[in-house]
Each structure stands twice: as C-alpha cells, then as structure tokens.
Amino acid sequence: MRSASLLLYVIFVHVRFAWSWSCESSGTELQLFGLPKGAGAVCNDGTPAQYYFAPSTSTSSSKSSSDTTLIYLSGGGQCSDETSCASRYDGSAYPYHDCDSSNATSPCFMSSKDNPDVCLKGGIFSELVKTANVVYVPYCSSDGWMGDGEFGNFEFRGASIAMAVVDAVVEAVPNTKTVIFGGGSAGGRGSSVLLDSVSERLKDNGVKRVLGFLDSPYYVEEDPMGDFEGFQQQTIDVYNNFISGSDLEEMIIGSACGDAYPNEEWKCLFGQYRFPFIETQHLLVADQFDGWQLSHNIHDYDGIEVNPVYTDEELVNIEEFAGKQHALLATLKEGSVYATACYSHHISEGDGFVDYKNNRGISQSDALKMLIEGKGVEMVEGLDEIPDEFVCCCGD
C-alpha cells in the first residue's frame, strides 16, 4: 500500500534546476575580468581562468563602495581520471558539452575560451547585489576546485584559481570588510575545502569577517546500487591524480583533518568527513534527498534525473540515505545547517534561493541573512525532519 502511494508521488516529481556554470538570459549584469599572470590560475586546457564582478547597486549612485563582497564558485560535476576527463572534453559525459564545438550557450567546461564578456545572474546574485558586491567564478578546472596539479593532457588548478580570484578581488575592492565565500555543487565542495585557508588569507589582507555559503557540498559515503564507481572512489582519484604531492596539498587537505585521516587524505575532500573540521562560520546548504548523489548512486545517471521513478527497493535505499545524512547533519555546529527534505540540488543561483522555504518557512536567503546577522539558523529550524515518503521539490 505504502509503495503504491510512493510511486504515485514520484511520478509527479519535477526536479528543481541544478545550476552548473552558466549565464542566464536575465538578472544582474556582471562583467568579465582576468587574473594576473603567474598565479598558476589556468583552466584544464591552459587558457587563463577569469571571473565576473558586479558592484553593489546600493552604492552605484554614491562614491563609496559596499564593504561586503560575495565570492561564489560555480559548479558542474567533475572528472577524476583519464577516461572521465576525456569524456568530459568530448561531450560524452556530464555536462555533455563538446569542447571542440563549444560556444557561449554550450560552453566547454575545461576552458575559458567561451566566456562571454557579460554574464547575467539571478538568485543569490540578484538578492545580494542589493547590499554587496558580487563575484561569480566560471568553473573550468573539472576538479571540484580542489586540484593543483597536472595530469594526462590537462591542468587541474581549481585551488589556485580560487586563491587567485580571492587575491584579485581584495585588490580590486580594497575597502572590503566582509567576504562571503562559497559556491554551489562542485563549487560548494571546493569552497568548503578551501574556506578556512581563504579566511586566513583574507584576514591577512585586512578583511575583518569571512563567512561561508556552502551549497550542496555534503557528500555522504554510500555504496551505489548501480554501476557508478561511487563518490568515494571519485574522490580518491581526485586526491591521487590532482592533489597528492602538490605545494598546496597541506592547504587543501587541512592540517587537523589530515592528522585525523593519515593515508586517507581523500576524506578531507569529502563533506561527511571534512565538515566537522571547518572552523570558519558558515551555512551548509543541503537537500536531504540530494538529486546529484541519488541520481548517481541509485541509477548510475551522470547528472540529475528529472522525474526519476524508483522501485520499492530503491525507495528503501533512498530513505536510508536520507536518514544517514540527517543524523550526520544533526551533529554539526549549531547555526550552520540548512537542509530541506526535498529531492533537489544546488538551487541558490535561481529564484528558489528566495522563493523556496523549508518546513519552518525559512528560505536559503533567510538563513544566509541570519548567518550574516551573527546568529545562524537554529538546528531545529534549519534541519527538516525526513518524512516517511520520498519528497520532491521545496516550495510547492
């Protein structure tokens, strides 16, 4: 009886858009900027990494600029070994853009060659630009922003790119007092790993306050039901191929986490294990029926399934996954968790940032405001209970 109603429920699921690196057709207008040469901030194909910037609209009519800046790393999956990186390049794997015939509408995710001069963004950008300068960083390193190495035919310099952007922004907006550093999906994973180092670096440069906004980075260990190799193995490969032996390795792994997991450094790149070590104040945004993890783990789908239909056995597995994630999230720092019980993933770049609410009527935007105001969202208000039934998107 229960399974029949579950199946019916699932059929009407329509997944919220998952935002990989992209510019939109409307929204806040951000301008393209380059990075200083020599910082090692290059894309997979060796083209220079770049970033987009818009000053706060609160200050466009006056001389003084806002002293708060959002730096947001974009997402879009990753590759981890020669096969997956070749497939990412030729468009046979996520995000399914062929790098040899790419353009601004269907950009190569391993290059800056398609970056338009202007990028329009909604969601968190339109909302924060009212009071803060906003920076959006295109994703061209395919390493979850964690790499600093050369592998096969490609460069994997995500960590160097992020650091170079942070330095460039502080120089471009010298009166910055508060930085909100974060990102979504792959950008959320990278910004989680880099947050404490970024915070230290910014404070050395006169920034008073650093906060994290970490959207959908929370990987939980799970044995996939299908042929997918698993996020654990992917992360092990990322560590071995793009990080191990790099000058930045200690910065990326983090010394406390590295000490806790000797010879298992990959765990320090993996949400479940890394989050307890993150010291900088932050908001962790998660969907407890995370569309990215479930699509891969349940149906070996490289992307996010729209309207997935699950068997009873799969639904049991999904409930277990959500329950496990819920229990882990409940152990994290008070004030740091915003986790809906929806099938969704990384919506902060869209209208859902403001429009969708959790069970307590709180949106991501509300939760971020609470963080900025210094109190954070209480665990009981931020962490939705897991319902008995698999739930689709928030806000309906």
Ligand X SMILES: *[C@@H]1O[C@H](CO)[C@@H](O)[C@H](O)[C@H]1NC(C)=O
> Interface with ligand X by CB under 6 A: which residues?
101, 103, 105-106
Measured N-to-C along each axis, helices 2-11 and 312-329 cross at an angle, to the nearest 10 degrees, of 80
* Nearest distance from C-beta of residue 25 to ligand X, angstroms: 13
Task: Name which of 31 and 105 has its Cβ closer to ligand X.
Answer: 105
Task: Name which of 105 and 359 has its Cβ closer to ligand X.
Answer: 105
Distance CA 354, CA 126 (A): 10
Distance CA 339, CA 359 (A): 10
The residues that bridge with 193 in the sheet, in sequence order, are none
Task: Name which of 116 and 152 has its Cβ closer to ligand X.
Answer: 116
Task: Name which of 106 and 232 has its Cβ closer to ligand X.
Answer: 106
Using alpha carbons, select from 120, 118, 137, 129 the residue that is nearest to residue 48: 137
Q: Which H or E run contains 291?
A: helix 291-299
* Nearest distance from C-beta of residue 109 to ligand X, angstroms: 13
Task: Name which of 3 and 103 has its Cβ closer to ligand X.
Answer: 103
* Nearest distance from C-beta of residue 91 to ligand X, angstroms: 8
* Nearest distance from C-beta of residue 20 to ligand X, angstroms: 15
Q: How far is CA 68 from CA 126, 174, 211, 216, 255, in A?
A: 15, 11, 11, 23, 29
* Nearest distance from C-beta of residue 297 to ligand X, angstroms: 29
Distance CA 314, CA 287 (A): 18
Specify whether the CB–CB gap between 220 and 272 falls below 8 A: yes
